[in-house]
Structure 1
Amino acid sequence: MEKVWNLKKRGDQNEIKHLSVALNVNMVIAKLLVQRGIKTFNEAKAFFRPRLSDLHDPFVMKDMGKAVERLEKAIANQEKILIYGDYDVDGTTSVALMYTFLKSRFQHIEYYIPDRYSEGYGISPKSIDYSVNNGFSLVIALDCGIKAVEKIANAKERGLDFIICDHHNPDDEVPPAVAVLDPKQSDCKYPYKDLSGCGVGFKFLQAYCQKNNIEQEEVHDLLDLVVVSIASDIVPLTGENRVLSYYGLKKLNSNPGIGLQTIINFAGLNGNEITISDIVFKIGPRLNASGRIEHGKKSVQILVSNDEDKSDLLGEEIDSFNEIRKTLDRDITQDALDTIEENEELKNMNSTVLYNRDWHKGVVGIVASRITEQYYRPTVILTESNGQATGSARSVGDFDLYEAIGKCSDLLESYGGHMYAAGLTMKIENIPEFRKRFEEIVTEQITDLQQTQTIEVDAKIPLSEITPRFFRILKQFAPFGPHNMTPIFVTEDVFDAGTSRLVGKNQEHLKLDLVEPDVNSGIFPGIAFNQSDKFDLITSGLPFDVCYSIAENEYRGKTNLQLYIRDIKKRDIF
């Protein structure tokens, strides 16, 4: 599929020039900063040198005083406290954070992760029954609960208090909990709205420490859990998330908790500098695999472990879950692709809705993402669970998937999510009508641009701009993530040096050696994964344009700069 290269706006030239002089950096670096809203020396200093002292006062968050007071009361009265969280990475790291901190100073505490298949997402009736029947009087719910109005009202009637630490968008009515910590509440004055669920839990503990004269370093020591949540939940890497991630990565790379060190070992990352990308693609999927294949409680068990031998045994089990997950992911994705390719009507639709009762519920979200990448259109993947069709949906561009599904709500038993991703459940007999109506809605609303893969380009530069100093400064833009993505560049009018070649097991990748005409700046190596179809263009002797990010490549003990090629086109792109 042809990709569109969208060159970002240049920004105010005077601001760029001023920042270039103030920081003693070239205009390209200054432009990248201005594009990110950084326009002054002090703003740049805060960006490049984050400080934990820059974190906001946790007591500005609505209900924080109530939450701390209720926790203090529970500890003073020796009440039983249950730490509750979702089965994904954000939920399990949140539970591990809260449990680890409180367990060191309070013994009457347990944690609870709902079963993905029998209980589903959020506060489950089964967990409320468990809490009441086992004498718990306080539940701290993390990464969930903001919409559980009726369930928490029922719990309150039964003498069970809740403190909610969530980061999802609330409805007009919030649950009648003792305290609701969620910066997205319309009447919450907390200045940073994009914390992860674990991040909200961190602010709660930060406030507890502040109130009880406990050194903040005790909660800062758990920032390796917070950065894993931030990266895995794909929240913006701006503001407080950038500060928390910066120091969380330092902890993760220098002295991670025993459980995370085990996961790092099994992911093959030991000895490497761990990045946000490593968390997203190697650490997070392993922690998620427990909840997908067996039970998310296993992830909490390893994250709170203080015994290396037990942690290694759990690590082996979790790694095996991840291998099963990868196999299911690969096989079901291929099955879904075959289903589409073998049906001309499905191939030519503007949306994808597929159902197979035998597909594993734990990976349908991943499969929906894979199919969306392949066909670049709104996708719903369904399987059977408890006698109903249930599954996940993924969107493209800025198409509002949640709104489109909402227009089919009379066919659904339940649904939830946001613009780009959603979960839904319906009666199996409603699938054909849902597929028909969803296709009609997508066809009516989606634009050609929304159906086209777009690469956001930060700047056009010559290859000669790429110097060791340029890259050293570029590295300081990390940690990279949403709203601070790895900078993407375009260089026009380059040539093959004559040594580019096909590589890979099936010759599916391109190993490039690029040169600029009339510029004595040497050869620039690059790698283009799964772009073997561009080989004839590269070797034709004609000029072409490349779209890329810059990375380091270590080979035989030597580190060199390498272009990570995102796309290749003939001349005259913009």
Structure 2
Amino acid sequence: MQKRWTIKETNDKATVANLAAALSIEPTLADILVQRGVNTFDEARYFFRPVLEHLHDPFLMRDMELAIARIDQAIARQERILIYGDYDVDGTTAVALVYSFFSKRYNHLEYYIPDRYLEGYGISTKGIDYAAANGFSLIIALDCGIKSVDKIAYANTLGVDFIICDHHLAGEEIPAAAAVLDPKRPGCEYPYKELSGCGIGFKLIQAYAQAHDIPFEEVTEYLDLVAISVACDIVHINGENRVLAYYGLQKINNNPCVGVRALMGVAGRSGAYTITDVVFQLGPRINAAGRIDDAKHAVELLIACHDDDAQTMGTLINLKNLERKEHDTNITGDALSMIDNDAILINRKSTVVFNEGWHKGVIGIVASRLTEKYYRPTVVLTRSNGHVAGSARSVRGYDLYEALCGCADLLIQFGGHKYAAGLTLEPENIEAFTERFEQIVSSTIAPELLIPEILIDAEVDFKQIDAKFFRILQQLAPFGPENMSPTLLTRNVKVRGAASLVGQHHLKMVLEQPDAPVFEAIAFGQGEMLDQVNSGQLFDVCYHIEENVWRDKRTVQLNIKGIRFSE
């Protein structure tokens, strides 16, 4: 698929020059830092040397005093407390963190994860009823609740208080809870707005520890769970999240909790974990518990205290992930065939596909795969509880949620954000929704948004990539939104010797420029360019620089994201 190459421009050349001089680094590296909001020596020191002292005072968050006071009251009165969280990675890690911390200090505690299929996302009436029927007078809700105005009002009639710990945008009305912790709520002056749901849970236990003179080490022991949530919920990895992810990865690699260690064992990956490894190795397994069976299994794993229990639960979750993969592969294959064999579908600017037999737990994954393949707004639908449930994904720059707003009269409900959403509709409205969605997308999407874009941080020659350059690039990690692994562009390279195919679809080659070091390179999924790169012509490449480890040998490798020949 053709891709757009867009080179980022830093207009403040003076700031780049001053930073390069202050840090004694190449202007190219200074430019990359300025793009990430690092403009001065002190900001660079903060960025490259994160320390736990950089974490903000949790009591800067609005309602934190109220939250701690309500927990203190509940403990003093021996009230039953229910730790409630969503069924995805962020929700289950948040529940595991808060439950583990408080269960060491208080006995009248349980946790609750809503059923993905029977209750859906967020706070449910069933969950509130369960709390009321079983004598729970306080619910600590994690990764959800900021828009649950009606549900909280209902809970109040039953004498069930809520402390909401959320990180999503608030609606016009804030729920009438005992405390609402959300840095994005109006009037909250907390300095950092992009915490994960588990991150909000971390701030809650940090505040409790601070108020009760509990050593900070008893809070930071849960940073592995926070790092998993930061990675898998795709939140920004800058500011406070960068500190949490940095130390959380250290915890994962050096001393993970029993459950995370078991999960790493069943994942079977050796070597140090990066954010990317967490996203692709640990996240899908935690998610699989709720997609295929019951997300409570993920919490059971993450709160486990004994290796045998963790190993049993880790093995179960790994089996659920294998089942998830099978559903994923089969449904994706069905959907691809459906689109490729339909002349109308293949030529549209949106994708809407439906099969009543598809597993609801994986349609979001399938929607992401179809979006990657055809690069256009996509909705995957299946039957669920007498209705049709859907999962939608968008392309960079296009507001999917706004498009769904234009279809609101055809939907029972929908929710989400610019790039991902969920929806429910009646079976008889599938055709009308398909046509309306296509009409809205085709009339509002800019043509260039239907072409994938590669954002390039800087243009370099191979001779610039020495040991110091690579070492500084490595220190930009952990990578993620707002701090992605830099994409570099090098022009007029050629293959030394001959490129070869690896695994039928991937190119492996050695690239060279005159009077410069040569670099090994891998281009995943670009095997169709084998003959062209072996033709002897010069071409341009954009890539990430990575360290490749093979049989204890470490080499610098270029991970090629795009190849372009001169016209």
Q: For the Cα contact (< 8 Å) 1:3–1:452, is it kept in 2?
A: yes
Q: Which residue of 2 aligns with 1:484?
A: 483
Q: Identify the residue that residue 401 of structure 1 maps to in structure 2.
A: 400
- The aligned residue for residue 563 of structure 2 is 568
The equivalent residue for 1:4 is 4
CA offsets 1:120-147 (integer angstroms, 9 cap, x no match): 1111111111101100000000001111
* Letter of the 2:299 counterpart: V
Matched residue SS, 2:236: coil
- Is residue 536 of structure 1 aligned with residue 531 of structure 2? yes
Measured in 2, the distance between the counterparts of 1:559 and 1:491 equals: 23
Counterparts of 1:81-230 in structure 2, within 5 Å, are 81-230=81-230
Match of 1:234 in 2: 234
| Partner Cα distance (1:375, 1:99) in 2 | 42
User: 1:266-305 residue pairs with structure 2 within 5 A?
Assistant: 266-270=266-270, 272-305=271-304
CA distance in 2, matches of 1:226, 1:150: 30
Distance 2:26 2:402 in 1: 44
C-alpha contact 1:145 1:166 (8 A) present in aligned 2: yes
1:451 is aligned to 450
Q: Which amino acid in structure 2 is aligned with residue 529 of structure 1?
A: F
Per-residue CA deviation, residues 226-271 of structure 1 (Å, 9 max, x unaligned), is: 000000000000111001111111111110000000001111234x
The amino acid across from 1:163 in the alignment is I
Structure 2 Cα separation of the partners of residues 84 and 571 of structure 1? 57
Shift in Å, 1:11: 3.7
Contact 1:548 1:563 in 2 (8 A): yes
What per-residue deviation string (whole Å, max 9, x for no partner) do you get for residues 296-353 of structure 1? 0000000000010111111110000000111111110010000001110001111011
Q: Is the 8 A contact 1:139 1:161 kept in 2?
A: yes
Give the secondary structure class of the aligned counterpart of 2:317.
helix
What is the percent sequence identity of the aligned residues?
Answer: 53
Q: Is the 8 A contact 1:11 1:31 kept in 2?
A: no
- The whole-number CA distance in structure 2 between the counterparts of 1:242 and 1:18 is 24
Q: Distance in 1 between matches of 2:304 and 2:190?
A: 33
The residue aligned with 2:506 is: 509
Letter in 1 for 2:85: G
1:523 shift after superposition: 2.3
Deviation at 1:156? 0.5
The secondary structure found in structure 1 opposite 2:15 is helix
Match of 1:137, SS? strand
| SS of match in other structure, 1:478 | coil
What letter is aligned with 1:533? E
Conserved 8 A contact 1:11-1:35:
no
Map 1:3-42 onto structure 2 (within 5 A).
3-42=3-42
Q: Which residue of 2 aligns with 1:437?
A: 436
The aligned amino acid for 2:370 is I
Other structure's SS at 1:510 match: strand
Deviations 1:48-76 (A, max 9, x none): 00111111111111111100100011111
Gaps of 5+ in 2: none
3-state SS, counterpart of residue 319 of structure 1: helix
Asked if the contact 2:462–2:517 (Cα under 8 Å) also holds between the matched residues in 1, the reply is no
In structure 2, the residue corresponding to 1:330 is in which secondary structure? helix
The superposition leaves residues 259-305 of structure 1 with CA deviations (integer Å, 9 ceiling, x where unpaired) of 000001111234x1111001111100000000000000000000000
- CA distance in structure 1 between the partners assigned to 2:314 and 2:58 by the alignment: 34
Q: Give the aligned residue type for 2:27.
A: M
Is the Cα–Cα contact under 8 Å of residues 492 and 571 in structure 1 kept in the other structure?
Answer: no
The whole-number CA distance in structure 2 between the counterparts of 1:523 and 1:275 is: 26
**1:496: Cα distance to partner?**
1.1
- Aligned-partner Cα distance in 2 for 1:419–1:301: 33
The yes-or-no answer on 1:345 pairing with 2:344 is yes
3-state SS of the aligned residue for 1:132? helix
Q: Is the 8 A contact 1:377 1:396 kept in 2?
A: yes
Shift of 1:174: 1.5
Q: Give how far 1:571 is off.
A: 2.4
Following TM superposition, by how much is the alpha carbon of 1:190 offset from its aligned partner in structure 2, in angstroms? 1.0
What's 1:378 paired with? 377
Q: Is the 8 Å Cα contact of residues 90 and 197 (structure 2) preserved in structure 1?
A: yes
Alpha carbons 2:163, 2:179 under 8 Å: kept: yes
Distance 1:268 1:12 in 2: 46
Deviates further, 463-472 or 409-418: 463-472
- 1:186 offset after TM fit, Å? 1.6
Q: Distance in 2 between matches of 1:178 and 1:443?
A: 46
For residue 19 of structure 1, give the secondary structure of its aligned residue in structure 2: helix
Matched with 1:525 is 520
State the partner residue of 2:359.
360
Instruction: Tell me the SS of whatever aligns to 1:203.
Output: helix
Q: Structure 2: how far apart are the matches of 1:340 and 1:566?
A: 26
Match of 2:464 in 1: 465
Q: Is the 8 A contact 1:11 1:34 kept in 2?
A: no
Amino acid at match of 1:566: K
Asked if 2 retains the 8 angstrom alpha-carbon contact of 1:112 and 1:297, the reply is yes
Q: Which amino acid aligns with 2:58?
A: P
Aligned length: 567
Q: Which residue of 1 aligns with 2:67?
A: 67
The residue matched to 1:423 in structure 2 has which SS? strand
Post-superposition Cα deviations, 1:147-196, rounded to whole Å, max 9, x if no partner, equal 11111101101100000000011110121110111111121111211110
Partner Cα distance (1:243, 1:181) in 2 = 20
Instruction: Give SS of 2:509's match.
Output: strand
Alignment of 1:291-330 (within 5 A): 291-330=290-329
Using the TM superposition, give the Cα deviation of residue 533 of structure 1 relative to its aligned residue in structure 2, in angstroms: 1.3
Instruction: Verify the 8 A CA contact 1:459 1:490 in the aligned structure 2.
Output: yes
In structure 2, distance between residues paired with 1:135 and 1:291 = 26
1:417-467 Cα deviation digits (max 9, x unpaired): 000000000001111111111111001100011111000000010111111
Q: Is the 8 A contact 2:416 2:422 kept in 1?
A: yes
C-alpha distance in structure 2 between counterparts of 1:10 and 1:185, whole Å:
32
Q: Which amino acid aligns with 1:124?
A: S
Query: Match for 2:497: what amino acid?
Result: G
Counterpart-to-counterpart distance in 2, 1:68 and 1:93: 21
What TM-score do the two structures reach when normalised by structure 2?
0.99
4+ aligned runs moved over 3 Å, structure 1:
none
Whole-angstrom CA distance in 2 between matches of 1:377 and 1:70: 47
Structure 1 position 557, deviation (Å):
2.1
Per the alignment, residue 264 of structure 2 pairs with: 264
Aligned-partner SS, 1:105: coil
Is the 2:493–2:540 Cα contact (8 Å) retained in structure 1?
Answer: yes
Equivalent position of 1:549 in the other structure: 544
2:420 is matched with which residue?
Answer: 421
